[in-house]
Amino acid sequence: MGDRKEARGTRDDEFQSFVIGRWPRLMRTAFLLTGEQHAAEDLVQSTLEQVFVAWRKVGSADDPEAYVRRVMINAHARKHRRRLKEFLAPKDDSGLVREIADTGDRIAQAEDRNALLKALAQLPPRQREAVVLRYWEDLTETQTAQAMGCSVGAVKSNAAKGIAKLRAIPGLAETVTQGGPK
Amino acid sequence: MSADRETNHTMTDRDIAFLLADAADEVEIGIAPYQAVIRGGRRRRARRWALATAAALVITGASGTLALASLRDTGGAEVTPAVSQKPPRPSTPEERHVYVPQETMLGTGTDKGKDWYVTVEVWGAPRTKAEAQAQLTAMAIRGDEPWDKDNASALIGKVTYFVQRSYGSGDPKFLMGDSASPQDTMAGTDLKSAAFTPDPKKSGGHQRLVVGHVAKTAQTVQCTWKDGTSTEAHRVASGADVNSDEATIRPVAGSPDNWFVCVGPEGASFDSVKVTK
């Protein structure tokens, strides 16, 4: 009985470390997926709640990160299937994309960021997920397919379409020809 | 970057990766809400289905929000498959949608300025214990919990469905679900349904949203409201548009039955429902 209690205590500690350690990264990914601070917080919290329920299994898995990604992508996809509007387009009053009146470079960078977020917002959810997982999470196509619950072919197709649309952003194309953001 | 490992990416891709990283840094990280996660996780763990088993003749609602209709009200002695032409039998669990459910939107509408949606997820029948165990894991990842979530074997040979309602910006809430043999199809005027309020927080209010399933052959379902008026749901083809506040009967991917949604006008309250044609 005591052993069981001890094991549970250890599991709780592990989960707490996991939550605290992964929170920043998960928040960034969720922000790119949802485009809005509060929606990102909701998505990550909801994801971690589901992970908590299955923590005994997840915590001892070889790759708990993969499980968490899968849960998050599912939660995001599910929300989209409901056709609820996300607030991806940066809002003037939200501070989501703050233009910094500092140097010309920084203004240009903020504009790029703004343009990128807007373009990301306009991608269909599966394309957005594929782009975020491949180019922000830096996952392989196979890992992305596992996270999205689809085939590698579907990942390739969604990522290629998504990235082609992002490339078409006029301001961004200019930045790219100059060697990317500073 | 691994993104560069598998395909020939141009500089543009790399730069987009930089821009994504830059954009991701815009989010305010804050402190991880560990206690809130634990509370939410415990709530999820405690959540249980309100489930109707195939053997039960009525649906009983744990929350008291379910209004009931009859199941097999014709006596249900004979069950004839509604579809005589069977498609080729899919072999792999992926083809049978054992690990990823098929999802169909049944209805949508607006209630007090907020959008609501009703969807049904249908999980294919696992054939082995290993498939059933993997299905349970996949369900857990999606936040779906079958009735007997600790007994994978109970899922073998059964199609499992989850009906959920989303309201406003809230998370989808479970409405009804079941695991049943795909051979156990509805026939004639068989009908299984439940009535709800569109707003889950007003479960004691007017139940003007009726969701259920009927035989593939059913053409019209009539929902009668307590004020004596009624709404008819007519059968539409697979893939037909889901229009706001529209009552329809439609095929659902993976389900042996057709499903319907009746939406009453504001203020209407469910009284009865039946297959009329």
Least confident of B67-76, B158-167, B208-217: B67-76
Alpha-carbon distance of B203 to A133, in angstroms, equals 39
Contact between B124 and B96 under an 8 Å Cβ cutoff? The reply is: yes
Per-residue pLDDT at B10 exceeds 80: no
> The domain that contains A109 carries what CATH number?
1.10.10.10
The verdict on a CB contact (< 8 Å) between B15 and A175 is yes
Sequence length of chain B is 277
**Nearest-CA distance A2 → chain B (Å):** 22
**Test the B interface: residue of A32, A36, A37, A52 with most B CBs within 10 Å:** A52
> Which one of A45, A70, A180 has the shortest CB-CB distance to B37?
A45
- Same domain? A98 vs A151: yes
Phi first, then psi, for residue A25 (nearest 5°) are: -65, -45
Contact between B234 and B90 under an 8 Å Cβ cutoff? The reply is: no
Q: How many residue pairs from chains A and B have C-beta atoms closer than 8 A?
A: 155
- Same domain? A69 vs A121: no
The verdict on a CB contact (< 8 Å) between B44 and A98 is no
User: Beta strand pairing status for B191-196 and B173-180?
Assistant: unpaired
Looking at A20, A54, A87, which one is the last position of a domain? A87
- Chain B positions touching A109 (Cβ under 8 A) are 22
Least confident of A60-69, A101-110, A164-173, B259-268: A101-110
- Same domain? A96 vs A180: yes
Per-residue pLDDT at A25 exceeds 60: yes
- Same domain? A178 vs A112: yes
Contact between B106 and B120 under an 8 Å Cβ cutoff? The reply is: yes
Q: At what angle do helices B129-142 and A37-53 cross, to 10 degrees?
A: 150
- Same domain? A65 vs A95: no
> Which one of A116, A134, A149 has the shortest CB-CB distance to B3?
A134
- Same domain? A100 vs A182: yes
Q: What is the pLDDT of residue B53?
A: 31
User: Looking at per-residue confidence, does A107 or B130 come out higher?
Assistant: B130
For B94, the closest chain A residue by CA position comes to: A150
What residue has token string 């059913």?
A: B218
- Same domain? A50 vs A96: no
The verdict on a CB contact (< 8 Å) between B16 and A29 is no
> The domain that contains A9 carries what CATH number?
1.10.1740
Q: Taking residues B170-182, report their average pLDDT.
A: 82
DSSP H or E stretch at residue B118: strand B114-123
Reported as a pLDDT band with limits 50, 70 and 90, residue B195 is confident
> What tens digit of pLDDT does each residue of A91-102 get?
333 333 333 334
- Chain B positions touching A49 (Cβ under 8 A) are 37, 40-41, 43-44
Contact between B134 and B124 under an 8 Å Cβ cutoff? The reply is: no
Contact between B87 and B202 under an 8 Å Cβ cutoff? The reply is: no
Domain assignment present for B14: no
- Same domain? A99 vs A83: no
Q: How many CB atoms lie within 10 A of CB A60?
A: 10
Token pair in block for residue B277: 């044609």
Which range of residues forms the domain containing residue A57? 1-87
> What tens digit of pLDDT does each residue of B27-77 get?
888 888 988 888 888 777 665 333 333 323 333 333 333 333 333 333 333
Closest CA to B124 of B149, B93, B147: B93
Alpha-carbon distance of B22 to B15, in angstroms, equals 10
Domain count, chain A: 2
Q: What is the pLDDT of residue B11?
A: 45
- Chain B positions touching A40 (Cβ under 8 A) are 27
Domain count, chain B: 1
Q: What is the pLDDT of residue B229?
A: 92
- Same domain? A108 vs A182: yes
- Chain A positions touching B3 (Cβ under 8 A) are 134-135, 138-139
> Which one of A78, A109, A136 has the shortest CB-CB distance to B172?
A78
pTM: 0.50
The verdict on a CB contact (< 8 Å) between B140 and A50 is yes
> Which one of B24, B117, B172 has the shortest CB-CB distance to A136?
B24
Q: What is the pLDDT of residue B76?
A: 31
The verdict on a CB contact (< 8 Å) between B40 and A84 is no
DSSP class of B86: P
> What tens digit of pLDDT does each residue of B112-140 get?
888 888 999 999 999 998 999 889 888 88
Contact between B111 and B124 under an 8 Å Cβ cutoff? The reply is: no
Domain assignment present for B143: no
Domain assignment present for B103: yes
Cα–Cα distances (Å) from B59 to A43, A170, B176, in that order, read 33, 57, 9
What residue has token string 């094991």?
A: A7
Alpha-carbon distance of B149 to B145, in angstroms, equals 6
Alpha-carbon distance of A135 to B101, in angstroms, equals 28
For B121, the closest chain A residue by CA position comes to: A78
Domain assignment present for B67: yes
For B30, the closest chain A residue by CA position comes to: A24
- Same domain? A62 vs A98: no
Q: What is the pLDDT of residue A106?
A: 57
% residues pLDDT > 90 (chain A)? 24
- Same domain? A72 vs A151: no
User: Looking at per-residue confidence, does A91 or B95 come out higher?
Assistant: B95
Q: Cβ contacts of residue B89 below 8 Å, gap of 6+?
A: none
**Nearest-CA distance B113 → chain A (Å):** 13
Contact between A43 and A18 under an 8 Å Cβ cutoff? The reply is: no
Q: Is the ipTM of this complex over 0.90?
A: no
Domain assignment present for B1: no
Q: Which residues of A136-157 are buried (b: 16+ CB within 10 A; e: fewer)?
A: bbbbbbebbbbbbbbeeebbbe
**Nearest-CA distance A36 → chain B (Å):** 8
The verdict on a CB contact (< 8 Å) between A116 and B19 is yes
Domain assignment present for B152: no
Looking at A87, A102, A119, which one is the last position of a domain? A87
- Same domain? A130 vs A171: yes
Strand partners, B106: none
Domain assignment present for B218: yes
The verdict on a CB contact (< 8 Å) between A181 and B1 is no
User: Beta strand pairing status for B102-111 and B159-167?
Assistant: unpaired
Which range of residues forms the domain containing residue B105? 49-127+159-275
For B11, the closest chain A residue by CA position comes to: A176
- Chain A positions touching B37 (Cβ under 8 A) are 19, 45, 48-49, 52
% residues pLDDT > 70 (chain B)? 77
Contact between B161 and B120 under an 8 Å Cβ cutoff? The reply is: yes
Domain assignment present for B71: yes
Reported as a pLDDT band with limits 50, 70 and 90, residue A88 is very low
